Amino acid sequence: MKHLVEFRSYTLKPVSRDRFHQLILEQSMPMMQRWHVDVIDFGPSAHDDDSYYLIRRYDSLTQRQHSQDAFYGSDEWKLGPREAIVSLIQEYTCFVLELEDAAVQQLRRKGD
């Protein structure tokens, strides 16, 4: 079985990664779970102090679009942690790959 996997890379404002990670753990991740977003992995990048990553799985490009429109368009996001999280991001980029289930499972965060 193949899945679409989105890799998102954030460049954060200097010395903000610890705060960003705390917001993701305490606010964004619980929201994504409530919205049934399949987060494969996330966390600080190993290559520098201002980078962070998020990896999510989708069934199709259409499902990705609907999921992100619903989540990022929700009052829970817009009136909740959006401003605190977005204010720490300098820029971000993402790309989507089609991966076999075995590859997705290898990427999946341990213990989830």
Q: What is the pLDDT of residues 48-93, one digit of tens each?
A: 999 999 999 999 999 999 999 999 999 999 999 999 999 999 999 9
pTM assigned to the model: 0.92
> For residue 111, what pLDDT is reported?
53
Average pLDDT estimate for 86-103? 97
> For residue 28, what pLDDT is reported?
96
Alpha helices in the chain (DSSP H): 17-23, 29-34, 61-73, 75-78, 82-86, 101-107
Residue written as token pair 């996997």? 5
Which strand (E) or helix (H) includes residue 92?
strand 89-100
- Confidence bin at 109 (pLDDT 50/70/90): confident
CATH architecture of 2-107: 2-Layer Sandwich (3.30)
